[in-house]
A = this chain, B = another copy of it.
């Protein structure tokens, strides 16, 4: 087996996923072929248009590809799993690819979500205009690069679980996202939980751990 284990969903409720970036086209074609008979829904992440185009036509025919999030699915998505709503709050247009990976992961997993774009705190009024909508979400994923100040401001304004995704957007000291990551980890707001730079998939999984555990609760 070349993929994240098929027993994972049964054991801990996390989605089947294939991390495509470091794999060769031949390896990915092999994985698609291996997964084909099983029929289980599987998500492919970090599958850029260039990488998708390098796959065999057989693989391409089996996958449902979404260039905006660099993801693909095989054998469809999982059934609707929650009545919670995840808010994905995005600092700027440049962070959209990462935000859409989170959204695609939630879509694949049957979890509803709403996206709030261009609400970076250098123009605070933009965030404030959307704040009521954001407060209506059960869990919030904040996606920001550069100084990632969004996470601190948001963390001080909402009480919901808040998962920060620093992005690699930027240049100079911001290049690669380590400033955004450090800023998110050192946030003065209390209880911001952080995932790896650009890891929209991981943020969605962290949200799903909450939903899996608490989602169908009696409250």
Contacts and interface: CB of A to CB of B under 8 A. Distances in A.
Contacts of A92: 2, 188
B186 A206 contact: no
Interface in A46-73: 46
Which of A120, A151, A173, A190 has the most chain B CB atoms inside 10 A of its CB?
Answer: A190
B193 A195 contact: yes
Q: Please state the number of chain copies in the assembly.
A: 8
A213 B181 contact: no
Interface residues of A, number: 102
Contacts of A187: 122, 146-147, 149
Contact of A152 (B19, B147, B160): B147
25 contacts: A1-B126, A2-B92, A5-B123, A7-B123, A12-B155, A12-B157, A23-B93, A27-B96, A46-B171, A122-B153, A123-B156, A124-B124, A124-B157, A146-B186, A163-B193, A172-B196, A173-B178, A173-B181, A173-B185, A182-B183, A186-B196, A190-B201, A191-B202, A191-B204, A214-B214
